[in-house]
Amino acid sequence: MTYLSMQGITKYYPGVVANNAVTFEVEQGEIHALVGENGAGKSTLMKILYGLEQPDAGQIAFDGQQVSIPNPYAAIRMGIGMVHQHFQLIPSLTVGENIALGFETRKGLFVDQKTVNERVQALSQQYGLAVDPTQRVADLSVGIRQRVEILKMLYRDARLLILDEPSAVLTPQEVDTLFDVIQNLVQQGCTAIFITHKLREVMAICQRATILRRGEVVGTLKVAETTPTEIARMMVGSDVDTVQLTSESHPGPLQLQLENVSAEDDRRLPVLKGINLSIHGGEIVGLAGVEGNGQHELLEVLIGLRKLRAGTITIGDTNVTAFDGRKRREHGLALIPEDRNHEGLSNDLTIWENMAVTRYYRAPQSQGSVMRIGRLKDAARDLMKRFDVRATSHDTVVGTLSGGNAQKVVIARELADTPRALIAAQPTRGLDIGAARFVHEQLVDLRNQGVGILLISADLDELLAVCDRLVVLFEGRIVGSLRRQDATREQLGLLMAGRTTEQAGVVS
Amino acid sequence: MEFLDLIVNVSASTLRLATPLILVAMAGLLSYQVGLINIALEGLMLIGAFVAVVLGVAAGSAWTGVLLAAIAGAIGGAFFALFVTDLRADLIVAGLAMNFLALGGTAYLLQILFNVQGSYTPADFASLPVLDIPGLSDMPFLGKLLFRHSPLVYVSWIIIPLTAIFLYRTVPGIHIRAVGEDPEAARTVGISVRGMQYLALVLGGLLCGLAGAHLSVGDLALFRENMTDGRGFIALAAVYFAAGRPRLAALACLLFGFFEALQFRLQTTSNIPTQFFQMMPYLMVVIMLVAISVRKEWQKG
């Protein structure tokens, strides 16, 4: 029986279609995986279901009735609960207070915390979620906090549970416990939507999976009748023939080298495990992989935001392992970060200011500690022309630009002085086709000028279009390295799903 | 015996002087817990002081004055809430504006209503009577120390646990704390962020009004320009020192009250310039604020 049916859901954000006529159906009593890369539209779809966003078009039917969900409160009352990736708990309140928050049992003006806590205890026993209702949330580990969030849903009588990347913050042992809990919940009559991009998890506990890509549904599969490889392929796309932009590559001298690089994530678990990677001038190396396998941390390690556990990073002939970001940039490193709005640009500043941030402090752009604003503005004007940034003037505030133009500001700044090595992370995410093409052309131009480029992308089309060489990152290791002309989607899909090079049939 | 008298006297005036601080600190605590820095405490308190004496005289009763002062404070708090929530004014700027408005407005009204400058002492008007607690006020030493005070002193003692119970045990109190800590999370469970901000600021305004009334009709009946003398800010310092905990904040207020009492006493009995003693309570504020940041550093380390 169809329990939840979302039909033709469309949601526009300025400049982007986050969901395009998405149809998503969930059966009663199943665990349904919603998979797709970041930016594929999973979160938007779930925000619509939970009443945090309103769709521009489409209908929702839940439990046999057409419904509209104006706010989370309405969703909760219908029996829809969501565990957000970022927990919505109040640290200084107790577990019991948090679970009942907004739905307290009252005794006049007072909270009847005794009754609340008894009910929490009962739920906690029924579902095997051990918590102490009197403990303060601030004193709890992440895994227990998640348990509190789940109990919070159950306390509100949620029957449809949305779990937004619940394993992302957990240790492997905690993940196993979580899976037991979810399966137990489903046995007791709940239905779960499980958002993830980890294929192993989809295979482990889900019955069906819906794959989203670029705001559209690629397909819904029965997990028992599919393979991780097929899902991976659907996530990264195999629908269009790729446009080959590159000519034969002529690799020059070594520009960027990582030797045995290891690092830990924010939870202090190993996330990069001995990465070896060499990028020569005049080549584009693509880093493929399902997101969450260490890409983000690798990026941080490269630009100097994350400490290395071991290993060295070399730019040209210089060992830059101990250098900060500015010094690495002075040695010829450039970076197009994955999140241009937060990491690439300061949205409240103007175009010229954003363009100036990498060079304002040194001659000839400044004299002593005084910036030469005229020069910086002139330079910004030139760059806007060179990189076709469309805005009224260099004084335009960056936050008002479209995604494509904002990305051009980043690219103009990073490529203004031709770097030795460029790291481009998801450089076309959220861009329309024209803007994406412009970015690809810039990358290829740069490569032809002898720059070494590392392109980190979740989009296989993009990688196959512009790269000379592809490496695959899986669980913090480089598991395969292929020349573009030898690479097939099937092999890449297998490698991304964690098969070894031999299993993938790669000759290298 | 003389020395013991001195101790009792200083302690009693400590309690008296700490009373407005405690009331205002509980007001500051409410806004601290809802996540708003309320620097308008000072102005709201001054409005309360003014209203208590002026309308008290008009009504012929200090008690009526106290009641109206509390109402005026609550209305002032509602206005402040209107500015910072619905009209999205900057908290600091709106607070400063409120304070200057209260300072200038009361001085101006003093001028046009009574044609006096600086201070106004109504004739034939009795301040709140000292309330001797029957049976207890006759105890040696303790009687004078604890049980022979102006009524609002006792009120301030009751307000401390009431504030604590309100914030930690009642539904609106817990919602106020939830909003203060994470407005987004509070919203997702259906709590009205705006509603809680109004509630905290209006209740706070009410307490500020009471505190002001204690200054103007609690012991003596008079209004002086800027008679709050920065007590709103001292109370705010106590709130931050206590990190929002009612009892600790009250304790800090008592400490300030003690230094103020000591200051009065030493002024009359020593040759050292009085300005030096007048500095003492404020010096305490600086020391306490330093203590806060040291403690924070220590917690981080």
Give me the percent of chain A exceeding a pLDDT of 70.
95
Instruction: Round to whole Å and give the CA distance between A382 and A40.
Output: 35
Whether A507 has a pLDDT exceeding 70, the answer reads no
A254-264, strands of its sheet edge to edge: A270-280, A254-264, A310-315, A318-319
Residue A291 has pLDDT above 80, yes or no: no
Tell which of A47, A89, A109, A137 to mutate to test the B interface (max B CBs under 10 Å): A109
Residue A263, H or E segment: strand A254-264
CA distance A234 to A246: 25
Q: Residues B262-281: what's their mean pLDDT?
A: 79
CA distance B142 to B12: 9
Q: Residue B281, preceding bond cis, omega within 30 degrees?
A: no
Distance of CA A356 to the CA centre of its chain: 28
In angstroms, the separation between the Cα of residue A103 and the nearest Cα of chain B is 8
With residue A453 as reference, give the H or E element that holds it.
Answer: strand A452-456
How far apart, in whole angstroms, are the C-alpha atoms of residue A472 and residue A465? 16
Q: What is the pLDDT of residues A351-363, one digit of tens each?
A: 999 999 988 888 8
Q: Which of A249, A239, A255, A343 is nearest to A296 (CA)?
A: A343
Please check whether residue A303 is in contact with residue A335, taking contact to mean a CB–CB distance below 8 angstroms. yes
Q: How confident is the model at residue A240 (pLDDT cuts 50, 70, 90)?
A: very low
A414: which residues sit within 8 A by CB, 6+ positions away? A334, A335, A336, A358, A422
Q: Which residues of A fall within a CB distance of 8 Å from B178?
A: 90, 93, 101
Tell if the CB–CB gap between B185 and A110 is shorter than 8 Å: no
Segment B272-300 shows an average pLDDT of: 79
Nearest to A93 among B177, B184, B188 (CB): B177
CA torsion, points B153, B156, B161, B164, in degrees to nearest 10?
A: -160
The mean pLDDT value of chain A amounts to 88
* pLDDT of amino acid B241: 86
Stretch B54-78: mean pLDDT: 95
Nearest CA in chain A to B165: A110
Eight-class DSSP state of B170: B
Which of the four pLDDT bands, split at 50, 70 and 90, describes residue A501? low
- Give the residue-averaged pLDDT of A28-33: 95
Rounded percentage of chain B residues whose pLDDT exceeds 90 = 62
A11's CB contacts (< 8 A; 6+ apart) are: A17, A18, A19, A41, A44, A48, A53, A55, A56
- How does pLDDT run across B149-195, given as a tens digit for each residue? 899 999 999 999 999 999 999 999 999 999 999 998 998 888 999 99
Taking 70 as the threshold, does the pLDDT of residue A174 lie above it? yes
Which chain A residues have a beta carbon less than 8 Å from that of B182? 88-90
Helix (H) / strand (E) element for A262: namely: strand A254-264
**Which residue type does A281 have?**
G
- Asked if B186 and A90 come within 8 Å (Cβ–Cβ), the reply is yes
Residue whose token pair is 């994470």: B182
B interface with A, Cβ–Cβ < 8 A, is: 169-172, 174-175, 177-178, 181-182, 184-191
Q: Are A90 and B181 in contact (CB < 8 Å)?
A: yes
Complex prediction ipTM: 0.84
